[in-house]
C-alpha cells in the first residue's frame, strides 16, 4: 500500500475553504468536526462503519454544564463548553438543543 502523501494531511491551522475532507466516525466528535469544517468551506464526506450516532454517543446523558466546578483547570473548559453549547443552539434553531 502506498504511503499517504503529506499533501493529503490537513494541518488544523490551515484554511479549510476549498478542501475535500473525509471524516471517519459519525459520533458527536466526528459530526462536530464535519459540521464545523463544512461551515468553514470544506467539502466534507462523513463516513461511519455503522449507523451515525450509534456509538458511545447514543448512550450519552447529553449533560453539558459547569455547575459545581468553578475552580481548577477543568472549570474554564466546562465554562467554554457551556458557552459553545449556547452558541450552537442559537446557530441551529431547528435542532432541539435544550
Ligand atoms: C452512559 C454514558 C453517559 C454519558 N454521558 C455524558 C454526558 O452527559 N455528557 C458528556 O459530555 N459525555 C457523556 N458521555 C461521554 C460521551 O458520550 C462520549 O465521550 C462521546 O459520545 C464520544 O463520542 P465520539 O464521537 O468520540 O465516539 P462515538 O459516539 O463512539 O463515535 C465513534 C464513531 O466512529 C465509528 N467508527 C469507529 N471506528 C471506525 C472505523 N474504523 N471506520 C468507520 N467508522 C468507525 C463508530 O461506528 C462510531 O459511530 C457518556 C458516556 C456514557 C457511556
* Spacing, Cα 81 to ligand 1 middle (Å): 17
* Spacing, Cα 8 to ligand 1 middle (Å): 26
Number of domains in the chain: 2
Residue span of the structural domain in which 14 resides: 1-60
Q: Show the beta-strand stretches assigned E in the chain.
A: 20-24, 43-47
pTM of the predicted model as reported, rounded to 2 decimal places:
0.86
C-alpha cell of residue 69: 466546578
Indicate whether 48 and 17 sit together in one domain.
Answer: yes
Say if residues 83 and 64 touch (Cβ distance below 8 Å): no
- Model confidence band, residue 97 (pLDDT cutoffs 50, 70, 90): low
For residue range 40-79, list pLDDT tens digits in order.
999 999 999 999 999 999 999 888 876 766 788 888 888 8
Indicate whether 49 and 74 sit together in one domain.
Answer: no
Indicate whether 8 and 24 sit together in one domain.
Answer: yes
Average pLDDT over residues 21-36: 95
Which atom of ligand 1 lies nearest, measured to the CA of 58? 29
Indicate whether 36 and 51 sit together in one domain.
Answer: yes
Amino acid at each position: 500500500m502506498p504511503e499517504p502523501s503529506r499533501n493529503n494531511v490537513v494541518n488544523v491551522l490551515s484554511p479549510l475553504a476549498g478542501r475535500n475532507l473525509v471524516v471517519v466516525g459519525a459520533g458527536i466528535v466526528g459530526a462536530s468536526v464535519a459540521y464545523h469544517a463544512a461551515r468553514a468551506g470544506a467539502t466534507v464526506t462523513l463516513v461511519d462503519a455503522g449507523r451515525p450516532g450509534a456509538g458511545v454517543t447514543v448512550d450519552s446523558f447529553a449533560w453539558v454544564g459547569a455547575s459545581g466546578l468553578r475552580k481548577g483547570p477543568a472549570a474554564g473548559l466546562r465554562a467554554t463548553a457551556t458557552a459553545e453549547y449556547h452558541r450552537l443552539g442559537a446557530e441551529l434553531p431547528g435542532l432541539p438543543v435544550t
